[in-house]
Amino acid sequence: MQERKIKLVFSYRGTAYHGFQRQRVLPSVQGEMEKVLKRLVGHEVSLAVSGRTDAGVHARYQTAHFITTCGIPGERFVQAMNTFLPDDIVVLESKEMPFDFHARYDVVEKTYRYRILNQRQSDPFLLDRAYWVRVPLRIEQMRAAAEHFIGTHDFTSFCSVRTHVDSKVRTIYEIRIDVEERDPYVKGQGQDIWLTFRGSGFLYNMVRMLTGALLEVGKGRWTPEYVKDMLASKSPSVRKVNVPPQGLYLWDVKYKE
């Protein structure tokens, strides 16, 4: 039969997985999805994804494609896959695409969000879905620091030393910090703080390190000007703060028309 390219849009809770990428022994999102696809289409399948996520990171809208020779209509993969996938991975959309589509190389914009639980006590229901910060944060200072990241910059100072790419120049279109009161009627409840990063693309650990820098500002340890100098230094050896993965969500992926 003729080969076809199928695009998948899906969500997952990353708690139980050692990242998206297929692992030899350990559970992964890719491993679970490819196992189900092989059962459905009758041959080995390799998913090409918009971008890998680390262990413990979640995705609201992740995108991938695969090639198959089976005759299942593209839109039918939603119901078929969800029948066999674990409950923490859900396919939201599937459709056949032209062969010049690529889930990774055609991305024009990505949005990540990082969730912070800002209150004196922890919340056992959010341990794997948010990062707990007990000290009150200076939100306006964080917003002032975030302004320095907007635009096109070399983000060498805010990515993992294991980042091996030709260029570390990326464009950030927006960084938004939203504060939501958790429950004003319950004493001791604090705030949900969401940091939203929208850009052309992001380097390995870049969002977590930008968040770490903004939190240092929010705690009063760093100033917005210090963060500006860090960015300008373009130094891989500059001091970094890499926040934990459980607060990070791949929120959206956009493609050219």
Q: Which amino acid is at 181?
A: E
Quick one: DSSP state of residue 50? S
- Residues linked to residue 179 through DSSP beta bridges, in sequence order: 193
C-alpha 236/C-alpha 33 separation (Å) is: 35
Shortest CA distance to 15 belongs to which of 66, 54, 73?
54
For residues 18 and 28, the answer to whether their CB atoms sit within 8 Å is: yes
How many beta carbons lie within 10 A of that of residue 95, not counting itself? 14
54 in active site: yes
Tell me if 185 is assigned to a ligand binding site. Answer: no
Half-sphere exposure of 154 (CA within 13 A, CB side): 11
Give the CA distances from residue 96 to residues 89, 106, 169, in Å, rounded to whole numbers and listed in that order: 21, 16, 33
C-alpha 212/C-alpha 230 separation (Å) is: 13
For residues 94 and 110, the answer to whether their CB atoms sit within 8 Å is: no
C-alpha 247/C-alpha 50 separation (Å) is: 20
C-alpha 113/C-alpha 130 separation (Å) is: 11
Residue 72 neighbours by CB under 8 Å, 6+ apart: 40, 41, 80
Q: What residue numbers does the annotated binding site cover?
A: 112
Q: What residue numbers does the annotated binding site for substrate cover?
A: 112
Give the residue numbers annotated as catalytic, written as ranges: 54
